[in-house]
């Protein structure tokens, strides 16, 4: 069984209980990590607290150099890291390399630069305003992007001068272990980054309630985020939450229909649908609805489901048996409520592994469960609309507001509609993801932002000196 990383050393947990790490494509146990305890969290937080004054006082250029060295080492080990992620959580190898590994390496490089370049002081009248490191950060991360989500928290926190206690998801923890080894190799001082594996109700809650933790940054489900926020509020900790989504892609009547639909299917099925910002609802004008459904079905049928290490695979397994069963329950619920299953379904496409076929529902109406709730699987709901105003109303008609997309023949018109969406980011005609732009949501999709200088600000406190 692996160890925890506390105070610069790999340390045995106070518990001897192992957590099995399962390959979702084969259902085989590939590793074990400790089921950490509150005592482990306490040891890690105290190590982070001891390291904080020195790390906060370290020159920004030196902090940036260490982050840059870690980013370079991650790039050198990108192939190995991608294999870890493909094995650990089932992402197809090409996706695991490009999106799950090289993109996070780029994000880490950006924080290496921001550590030094981001201005920490300014003058307002007779006040000298200083931005200081917020303190000890509890970073709680999910399994769907097990490296990216870690770096989105650890990168800016370290760049700001904070120290970190990291709890990766126990479902897919191995990328976080490999990243911690990289930070140790580049010489990150003891206690600046600590790793405690374990389950959320034990380790996560101990982190959220620990009196020496100053900031809690959580990515995961809205229900779990609500719990973390409640616990952290007892001691008035700063909280950053990146939660669920039920994002909509609106295909306007003047859009290039085939391109928009094909792109929308790809977006929904990315990472087997296990992406919080995926546009899992596609809104199509009624005049072109049937044609759009045919294109979506034909497109989905080209997505090969299979072994993450097969170069032809586009859709890997879901991360666990529990997640597969959850998605199947939603597919059944969609049919029970009257939506038409036009592709995919509940039959397992392979004899072994936690697979679900790319699934498309037509005839979806606002208010249906599959239209309102985050499924987190390869399931697309296609919804007809009559007017643009109705489309905007449907898009805004869920508790979430994380992402969205607009397709139109006019960029200006698309932007005007995007401004009406209550959501944190909107892709216009397939606009690419920008790792320097703010990422986060409205409503129950979270609080705060990640990436770029906006992510760095989450880990800084403001102090004004009146002169």
* 199-234 pLDDT tens trace: 999 999 999 999 999 999 999 999 999 999 999 999
Measured distance CA(248)–CA(404) in Å, rounded = 5
pLDDT for residue 417: 98
- What's the burial of 20, exposed, middle or buried (CB within 10 Å: 0-12/13-18/19+)? exposed
CB 233 within 8 A of CB 209: no
How far apart, in whole angstroms, are the C-alpha atoms of residue 444 and residue 274? 18
Calculate the average pLDDT of the chain. Answer: 98
% helix / strand / coil in the chain, to the nearest 5?
40, 20, 35
Q: Residue 143: is its pLDDT beyond 90?
A: yes
Of the pLDDT bands very low, low, confident and very high (cuts 50, 70, 90), residue 425 is very high
User: Residues near 171 by Cβ (< 8 Å), separated by ≥ 6?
Assistant: 21, 89, 143, 319, 320
Task: Count Cβ atoms below 10 Å from residue 413 Cβ, excluding itself.
Answer: 14
Q: What does DSSP assign to residue 441?
A: -
List, for residues 275-328, the tens digit of each pLDDT value: 999 999 999 999 999 999 999 999 999 999 999 999 999 999 999 999 999 999
pLDDT at 1 over 90: no
Of 230, 170, 175, which is closest to residue 203 (Cα–Cα)? 170
pLDDT in tens, 72-122: 999 999 999 999 999 999 999 999 999 999 999 999 999 999 999 999 999
Proportion of the chain above pLDDT 90, given as a percent: 100
> Residue 54: pLDDT above 90?
yes
Question: What is d(CA 181, CA 10) in angstroms, rounded to the nearest whole number?
Answer: 10
Mean pLDDT, residues 176-202: 98
SS3 assignment, position 134: coil
Looking at the chain, which residues constitute the CATH 3.40.605.10 domain(s)?
4-243+445-466
**Which CATH architecture best describes the domain 4-243+445-466?**
3-Layer(aba) Sandwich (3.40)
Of the options 3.30.499.10, 3.40.309.10, 1.10.3720.10, 3.40.1410.10, the CATH number for the domain spanning 248-435? 3.40.309.10
**Run of H or E residues at 173:** none
Q: Which residues are catalytic?
A: 242, 276
Please state, for a pLDDT cut of 70, what percent of the chain lies above it. Answer: 100
Residues 159-168 pLDDT 10s: 999 999 999 9
Q: Is 257 exposed, middle or buried (CB count within 10 Å of its CB: 0-12, 13-18, 19+)?
A: middle
Query: Phi-psi bin for 447: left (phi > 0), alpha (psi -120 to 50), beta?
Result: beta
Which residues belong to CATH 3.40.309.10 in the chain? 248-435
């Amino acid at each position: 069984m692996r160890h925890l990383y506390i105070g610069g050393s790999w340390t045995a947990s106070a518990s001897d209980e192992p957590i099995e790490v399962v390959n979702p494509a084969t259902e085989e146990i590939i590793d074990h990590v400790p089921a950490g305890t509150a005592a482990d969290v306490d040891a890690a937080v105290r190590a982070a607290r001891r390291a904080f004054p020195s790390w906060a006082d370290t020159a920004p250029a030196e902090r940036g150099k260490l982050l840059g060295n870690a980013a370079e080492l991650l790039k050198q080990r990108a192939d190995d890291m991608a294999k870890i992620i493909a094995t650990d959580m089932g992402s197809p190898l090409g996706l695991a390399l490009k999106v799950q590994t090289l993109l996070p390496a780029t994000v880490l490089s950006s924080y290496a630069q921001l550590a030094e370049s981001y201005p920490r002081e300014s003058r307002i009248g007779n006040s000298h305003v200083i931005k200081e490191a917020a303190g000890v950060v509890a970073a709680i991360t999910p399994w769907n992007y097990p490296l990216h989500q870690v770096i989105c928290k650890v990168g800016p926190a370290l760049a700001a001068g904070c120290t970190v206690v990291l709890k990766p998801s126990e479902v897919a923890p191995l990328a976080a272990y490999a990243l911690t080894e990289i930070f140790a190799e580049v010489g990150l001082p003891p206690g600046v980054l600590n790793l405690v594996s374990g389950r959320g109700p034990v380790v996560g809650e101990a982190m959220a309630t620990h009196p020496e933790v100053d900031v809690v940054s959580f990515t995961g489900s809205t229900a779990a985020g609500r719990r973390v926020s409640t616990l952290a509020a007892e001691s008035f900790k700063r909280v950053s939450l990146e939660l669920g989504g039920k994002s909509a892609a609106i295909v306007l009547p003047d859009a290039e229909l085939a391109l928009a639909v094909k792109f929308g299917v790809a977006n929904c099925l990315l990472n087997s649908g296990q992406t919080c910002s995926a546009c899992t609802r596609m809104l199509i004008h009624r005049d072109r609805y049937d044609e759009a459904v045919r294109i979506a079905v034909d497109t989905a049928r080209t997505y090969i489901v299979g072994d993450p290490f097969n170069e032809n695979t586009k859709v890997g397994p879901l991360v666990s048996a529990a997640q597969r069963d959850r998605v199947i329950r939603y597919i059944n619920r969609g049919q029970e409520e009257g939506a038409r299953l036009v592709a995919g379904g509940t039959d397992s496409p392979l004899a072994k592994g936690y697979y679900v076929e790319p699934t498309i529902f037509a005839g979806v109406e606002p208010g249906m469960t599959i239209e309102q709730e985050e499924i987190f699987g390869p399931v697309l709901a296609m919804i007809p609309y009559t007017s643009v105003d109705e489309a905007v109303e449907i898009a805004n008609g869920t508790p979430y507001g994380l992402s969205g997309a607009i397709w139109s023949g006019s960029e200006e018109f698309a932007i005007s509609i995007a401004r009406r969406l209550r959501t944190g980011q909107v892709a216009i005609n397939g606009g690419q993801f920008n790792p320097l732009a703010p990422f986060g949501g409205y409503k129950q999709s979270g609080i705060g932002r990640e990436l770029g200088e906006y992510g760095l600000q989450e880990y800084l406190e403001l102090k004004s000196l009146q002169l």
